[in-house]
Copies of this chain bind each other. A is one copy, B any other.
Amino acid sequence: MSSFRVGLLGHGTVGAAFDALLRERADAVAASTGRRPELSGVLTSSRGDFDEILDASDLVVELIGGLEPAREYALRALRSRRHVVSANKQLLAQHGEELFDAAREAGVDLRFEAAVGGVVPVVRVVQETLAAAHVERVHGIVNGTTNFILTEMARTGASYSEALADAQRLGFAEADPSDDVDGTDAAAKMAILARLAFGGAVSLDQVTYEGIEHVTADDIAYARELGLSLKLVGTAERVDGGLSVRVHPAFLYAGHPLASVDGSFNAVTIESPTITEITLSGPGAGGSQTASAVLGDVVSAMLPPATPPAPATPVVIVGDVESAFYLHLEVADRPGVLAQVAELLGLQGISVKSVVQRGLGGDARLTIVVHPVRESRFLAAVGLIGRLDFLRVPPRWIRVIEEVFE
């Protein structure tokens, strides 16, 4: 099998995570693309030579950050007909046209999914949606640090500075958080999204932005009375025959698709009369997530245009899976009922997560949620519970899907 040679510029948090992920996923990528990706060289401030790496690479991954020498290296790689993948939002926002021109002239691929929505594939969805639908508006929560801070303020009633300190302690904000909290970071991302959605070059100084430094816990508390939650929202929209691209704190009604995007997550909603709206959400940052977005771009560049899935591999279907369950019992309201039910559950190794008991005259209603257990065990317990003499109607049960993060 031939190899696909990847030159890596930068070896900080994301670079190191990409290096490790590339090794871990090399077999899987080889299976789906027919070529085995391998690092052809690494450039850091203390080692490696750019020209040697360029010569030895089919694709260059730029994870240096900042404008120079990232811009120079990316341009030289494109002009040497190498694909380029970058996670550098400032580079794309400020020198996008120059880079797009170079990629178009050389007929190579320039991908930058990780520069906008972290692991959320907004770049490719906006680009591909654009051709088939007239995009009217893009709304985005595109900065994980500020969304984490606002979520904490809403959840705990903390002040901005308390929530910022928490975010710093937990690694969701940097020691100098200025670019995140003042909206600069989100503004660069919205400039890139506007370019993709509307086809016009939007320079960074055409994006108006405000940050979250002046938001108070009171604002959040009072607005909640009106059913509103506060987010730092980026907007790119067609208006009055032109465009508006801006970032500012905004309240969202509970029904808005971005209103429930909490913590350090990012999300983007694309609105169009034809499609109504599409929303994409996922983790906004983190070394391994960004590395995954970068590797996704590398794999896309490796694939020929029209790849059907690789031939199918054999599968084993598992029947008796684990699930949490909700169990609903209507019982005579007398002592010992809950104890007997709990005993039958316990005999099958089933652990109870929550119980609500409500009186109904001489009867009672028990609604129980149990932790994940093999379905066969749960059904065995329900069979035994169904034979208890104090049961008024047959037990009812429905599966429960646990939260992804608990």
Contacts and interface: CB of A to CB of B under 8 A. Distances in A.
Interface residues of A, number: 134
A351 interface: no
Interface in A94-125: 97, 99-101, 103-104, 107-110, 119-121, 124-125
A249 B398 contact: yes
A275 B271 contact: no
B281 A314 contact: no
B404 A130 contact: no
B317 A196 contact: no
A308 B100 contact: yes
Interface in A354-376: 354, 356, 365, 367, 369
Interface in A65-110: 83, 97, 99-101, 103-104, 107-110
Nearest to A222: B367
Interface stretch (A45-53, A170-178, A288-296): A288-296
Chain A interface, DSSP helix/strand/loop, else mixed? mixed
Interface string A222-237: 1101101010010101
A4 interface: no
Contact of A280 (B110, B132, B279, B283): B279
Contacts of A21: 132, 274
A195 interface: yes
A156 to B, nearest CB: 16
Residue from A83, A257, A369 having most chain B Cβ neighbours under 10 A? A257
B248 A399 contact: yes
| Copies of the polypeptide in the assembly | 2
A226 B358 CA distance: 13
A311 interface: yes
A402 B245 contact: no
Contacts of A308: 99-100, 103-104, 109-110
A206 interface: yes
Given A292-B132, A309-B100, A256 B199 contact: no
Contacts of A272: 292
Residue from A222, A281, A305 having most chain B Cβ neighbours under 10 A? A305
A279 to B, nearest CB: 5
Contacts of A256: 401-404
Contact of A289 (B108, B119, B274): B274
A319 interface: yes
Contacts of A396: 216, 219
A401 B313 contact: no
A403 B279 CA distance: 13
Contacts of A278: 119-121, 280-282
Given A222-B328, A226-B354, A404 B201 contact: no
Interface stretch (A28-36, A158-166, A179-187, A333-341): A28-36
A300 interface: yes
30 contacts: A25-B132, A29-B131, A104-B308, A109-B305, A129-B296, A200-B314, A215-B398, A216-B396, A219-B398, A223-B367, A226-B356, A226-B367, A228-B369, A233-B401, A242-B316, A242-B318, A243-B316, A244-B317, A244-B319, A252-B400, A256-B404, A274-B288, A274-B291, A275-B288, A276-B283, A276-B286, A276-B404, A279-B280, A301-B306, A305-B305
Interface of A: 21, 25, 28-29, 31-33, 83, 97, 99-101, 103-104, 107-110, 119-121, 124-125, 127-134, 139, 195-196, 198-202, 206, 208, 215-216, 218-219, 222-223, 225-226, 228, 230, 233, 235, 237, 239-246, 248-253, 255-258, 260, 262, 269, 271-272, 274-283, 286, 288-289, 291-293, 295-296, 298-301, 303-306, 308-319, 321-323, 326, 328, 354, 356, 365, 367, 369, 396, 398-405
Q: Which 6 pairs show the lowest CB-CB distances between chains A and B? A: A109-B306, A200-B315, A242-B316, A201-B312, A278-B282, A132-B296
